[in-house]
Structure 1
């Protein structure tokens, strides 16, 4: 398994700071979607956040194609409700140079609002991401243009959050992490990883972008992953620290990991 289905499995391959890279790995069909989704949790997620479903007219036909491909009736909402992954559809309109978001079924967004993004082209979609335009935009555009039907690619990332909730709305860091200390960081800091895949639908040519959300308290991670995160903190502070609020939790995380592994070594 190239990309697993837990924070512990994903972290060794996940991007969490530094220079932006697509970091894609080619996946087999069996590695595409989580094999045993909690469909009750998915239904609850969409019931709690109905605004997570946004579909433009351009997204209806690709959504129906996706559902049929997955052995389902309906469209994009039914596909996402039946699987662990949130799902987004992107298409290229005649005369456009960038794919744009035409459908989203997102129960567990990572601090974004589908209604605000529907209809936007890729570069506008990623505008809040520091360095995207300079470091990654051209590469993403090229990849999307060349992606063949049948091929599946995946990548993953990680964030530090102050909540285990899978639908994450970030608060100002000085508020979100105000309660975090080196003593309690293992239970109050949560590592959130997105397992993302890209695949072109064969009939409509739309591109499906899936986002599988996995969350774990820092203390529950393996020793290797705790040390990996501690080592990553300085690079995060030097790069995307302001956007991610790393200055509010990095020292607590580092001190927690240092004490935890001094005590057990």
Structure 2
């Protein structure tokens, strides 16, 4: 398995800090989407967050192509409800060189609002990410332009949250992590990883971006992953740590990881 499913399995493949990188792995068809999704959880997620479905007219044709490819009928929402992964469609308008978000079916967003992003080009979509424009934007644009139908690529990331809820809306860090200490960080800090994939639909040429959400309490991770995250939190690039609220939880996370290593 090139890019497995689950936080402990994904973390060794995620960027640890420093310069932003896409960190792509080429996937086989069998590795694309999670098998045996919890469809009850998916239905509950969309019922609780109906505004997670945002569709423009440009999403209609690729949405229909996607569902046909998956052996379903309907459009993008039906595809996302039938799988573990949230799904987004991006298309390239004539005369433009950046793909735009034209459809989203997202039950479990990681601190973003699909309605605010619909219609935006890639660079505007990623504007909140410190360093994206300088370090990653050109590489992403080139990758998207060259992506061939049939090829599937995946990557993963991580966030530290103060909740295990699948739909995550970040609170001010000083408030969200006020209760976290080196003693309780294993139970009060949650590691959230997105397993993301990209593939081009052959008929419409749209690009499908999938986001599989996996969450685990920090204390349930392997010791090696706890140490990996402790090192990563300490080395986040300037500005990115602020965006992630690292200053409010870093001491507790690192302290917990070090205490566990000392007692192992």
Match of 2:223 in 1: 223
- Structure 1 stretch displaced more, 233-242 or 143-152: 233-242
State the alpha-carbon separation in 2 of the partners of residues 191 and 237 from structure 1. Answer: 19
State the alpha-carbon separation in 2 of the partners of residues 16 and 74 from structure 1. Answer: 39
Matched, 1:36 2:36: yes
Match of 1:122 in 2: 122
Matched, 1:49 2:49: yes
- Structure 1 stretch displaced more, 226-235 or 95-104: 226-235
- Following TM superposition, the consecutive aligned residue runs of length 4 or more in structure 1 with deviations greater than 2 angstroms are none
Match of 1:92 in 2: 92
Match of 2:138 in 1: 138
How many positions carry a matched residue from both structures?
264
State the alpha-carbon separation in 2 of the partners of residues 119 and 218 from structure 1. Answer: 36
> Does the 8 Å CA contact 1:18/1:240 hold for their aligned counterparts?
no
> Does the 8 Å CA contact 1:17/1:239 hold for their aligned counterparts?
no
Matched, 1:18 2:33: no
- Give ranges in structure 2 of 5+ residues lacking alignment: none
- Cα–Cα, structure 1 residues 16 and 80, in superposed 2: closer, same or farther, change >3 Å? farther
State the alpha-carbon separation in 2 of the partners of residues 117 and 244 from structure 1. Answer: 20
- Give ranges in structure 1 of 5+ residues lacking alignment: none
The TM-score, its normalising length taken from structure 1, stands at: 0.98
Match of 1:162 in 2: 162
The TM-score, its normalising length taken from structure 2, stands at: 0.98
> Does the 8 Å CA contact 1:237/1:246 hold for their aligned counterparts?
no
State the alpha-carbon separation in 2 of the partners of residues 176 and 203 from structure 1. Answer: 45
State the alpha-carbon separation in 1 of the partners of residues 226 and 31 from structure 2. Answer: 25
- What is the CA distance between 1:17 and its match in structure 2? 2.6
State the alpha-carbon separation in 2 of the partners of residues 191 and 102 from structure 1. Answer: 29
Matched, 1:248 2:252: no
Corresponding residue SS for 1:66: helix
State the alpha-carbon separation in 2 of the partners of residues 17 and 193 from structure 1. Answer: 14
